[in-house]
Chains A and B, each alone.
Chain A
Amino acid sequence: MRTLFSENILSLSPTPAPQSNPFELLFPSSLSTASSTASTQSSPRQDDWLTQHVQNQHRADADAVNQTSYVSSGHRTQNVRRKGNPKLLFMGSRRSGKSSVQKVVFQKLSPADTLFLESTSRIETANMHSFITFESAELPTSIVTAVTAPAPDFDHQAIFSNAGAVIWILDVQDEYLTSITSMIQTAVFLAETYPRINFEVFIHKTDGLSDEYKYETFREVRQRVQDELSDLGHGDRSVSYYQTSIFDHSIFEAMSKVVQKLLPQLPAMEALLNKLCSTCRIQKAYLFDTVSKIYLATDASPSFLRDYEVCSDYVDVIVDIKQIYGWHGQGNSSQEDGGGVGESMVSYDRSGDTYVYAREINNYLSLICVMGRGSSADKRVLIDYNAGILHDALLQIFKV
């Protein structure tokens, strides 16, 4: 089994605290395109963000100190020890869309079909084997209440001990105040018992709402949660908020951000992509997990949801066409590895000035670049060469 989190990465740097990611400091608004608009609207919150960042940094340091002391004393129950694959836990109130999100993102269910999903009554786990094996689990509502008011025999250790992130799904089209209450209880519980788990909030089902209402609700929810958490003494806990909907790409983008926080290789990948973009005049580059269409990294230039949409749709096009005509190789899989590197390109105007370039890193990972003006077709040689270098570097990063 291929694991990303090798033993020595773990022991050297327990978790690259996502809060101290330099890119977030530089681009607080690139957290999510959806949230960026909201945060610019509420400018006072930006200062909050900075103070919070400083606090987090302290916290992270303290954490690291704790960590070493635990290691020395050989007892680290407090901290979540993540090994193996990133594991995501979905929580939320009844009919908020937990199963739908999971099915759409990891099992490629068509969003329209999620209407017919039955409600989940026990913990359901799903694995997706791709470049990274994602493990996701969904906690039915009965268990969610059990978490907030734990029964003595409730084994939260089994559920939370190896989780990387808890995703709380909040249905904005429903009465969400009760959900917020239990979300806060859960967040506090997690902050006290498993402080290493990232807590993420998906403000879900935003499709069909007017933009204004959407941002208003988004801000309200964020404000409320933040206030409550600080009242309870956990104001320093960073909670990320995303506006999502399974009917567009926002859910994939949000999932990408969540997954990225769990990858220790993220800074290295981002640095590589930044270099590639500046040398080859690439407008935007994404590193896609081909199967799930979650992107593992992107360069530091401001990201827009629509760039992501185009790239992810393009990945779809390539995958579909490859499926249709790649049937020769399916029989003898040994040839698959020996085959040339797949690459693809689509150009839009006759001059070939604007185009999208895709290159397969391996079966599960592909690099998609939106090329800007000025990198015309005659520069392709250079781009191919540089992409080749990036290719080798990435393979080395992930070589375990």
Chain B
Amino acid sequence: MGAALTRYRVIAWIVGVVLILLVVVGMPLKYAFDNPVVVETVGPAHGFLYMIYLVAAFDLSRRADWPLKRMLLVMLAGTVPFVSFYAERRVTAWLDRPVTRTPEPVAS
């Protein structure tokens, strides 16, 4: 669970940053200043990164036994600028409970 959550958080953060880069920087550059270089490079890259995000979210949802609806919501949240960060925090709050490691007597 811990490793799957970490994978999800890393790729969620990357996808979120790239998406904001695309929407906040790339699109104004392309449509207002007629300079499509950012959109051309970051656009397709975001698509492939989002695929990794989907796989990580799917993997995490299976391990956490989420219902289908929650899994789809988390996947969709990755497509909305800024919301993806909120989703990542929500998911982390759901899953990242501190593991209570109570000492256990071991007869060795």
The answer to whether A and B belong to the same complex is: no
